[in-house]
Structure 1
């Protein structure tokens, strides 16, 4: 079961992942999310972004480091991620990868930020997800073969659908896990090197810069 989080909006996860690269103000965060197309699985909305940043600050996951003003523009506050924020980011992604929960966007969100976890840990988390999925599949199959089998199919189609979705998912997860485990996944050496050195890859930094306000 998923943990109860102080900030549960998946947009908060997206904000934390963006601030890992460097401190930014909210407009920059929004621009980077759009450039990376990361916000689409996390409920990105302009109005909610500011509230999410405020909630992250309230719980100590981000910290305001400076305010700046250019010309007649409103004052802009720059935020950075804190150590508790980094811990929350990693733990949240772990949960999204490990625990099958209703709503496919949760798993997509975890996959979109998989790089914050080390490859060997992802192999373990995916194996645990496979185990949970196998249990859900077995339960659905038992339901369809048991007393529910006496019901008209019309009353069982949602269970059939869930079974089909979970079966397809576990097949994909097994294949993806195998690619990481046997070393055949493209980009795996760079992923390992990132976790060995702790340095943000240059291409990620360039992407972040591309999403910022030009002035």
Structure 2
């Protein structure tokens, strides 16, 4: 099996779930949604099945069993291959240790914040701050539910804590910059006020 990493980030989520126990794709989707990971990964039925097929084709995972509950169609349950598990943990180790350049759209947009003018820029940042605040509240509820209602070990939902911390930092920044625009401490070229 080549040490080629999957291109789709959803593969990380699938491989991570399979560390816990073998699953069929329908159960994978349910677990990802239950844990709020559908906000971190683009999750559609098609993308999930495509990812599972690619991981199987490339030798990362293999069928473990087939289930057929009642009159429903048969479902293939997947697990890591030994080599897939080794490569997955090596990939995770690298991703966690090495910061990598990421290209978020918001960072690109902030580069041209001045084009909006001060009033519109401050209003846009305030609106983003409100959306971030709502997302933080919803994320907190989902995280608590995963821990308290569904009994997920904290380690299995630790990414939600990271997402909350990043959203809180972005919220603080957006509010600070909006305030600086509104009180005039962020200088605007061209005499805008």
Question: Normalising to structure 2: TM-score of the pair?
Answer: 0.50
Partner of 1:68: 67
CA distance in 2 between counterparts of 1:14 and 1:101 reads 20
Q: How far does residue 103 in structure 1 lie from its aligned partner after superposition?
A: 3.1
SS at 1:20 equivalent: helix
Q: How far does residue 104 in structure 1 lie from its aligned partner after superposition?
A: 5.0
Residue pairs, 1:137-176, within 5 angstroms: 157=111
Partner of 2:101: 101
Count of aligned positions? 113
Partner of 2:131: none
CA distance in 2 between counterparts of 1:19 and 1:91 reads 15
Q: 1:7 to 1:71 in 2, by over 3 A?
A: same
Partner of 1:30: 29
Residue pairs, 1:1-215, within 5 angstroms: 5-97=4-96, 98-104=98-104, 157=111, 203-204=152-153
SS at 1:77 equivalent: strand
Q: How far does residue 203 in structure 1 lie from its aligned partner after superposition?
A: 4.1
> What stretches of structure 1 of length at least 5 have no aligned partner?
106-155, 161-201, 209-215
Q: How far does residue 22 in structure 1 lie from its aligned partner after superposition?
A: 0.7
Q: How far does residue 46 in structure 1 lie from its aligned partner after superposition?
A: 1.4
CA distance in 1 between counterparts of 2:36 and 2:88 reads 18
C-alpha distance after superposition, 1:2-40 (max 9, x if no partner): xx9441101011000001011111111111111111232
- Alpha-carbon contact 1:6-1:59 (below 8 Å) kept: no
CA distance in 2 between counterparts of 1:42 and 1:203 reads 19
RMSD over equivalenced CA pairs, Å: 3.2
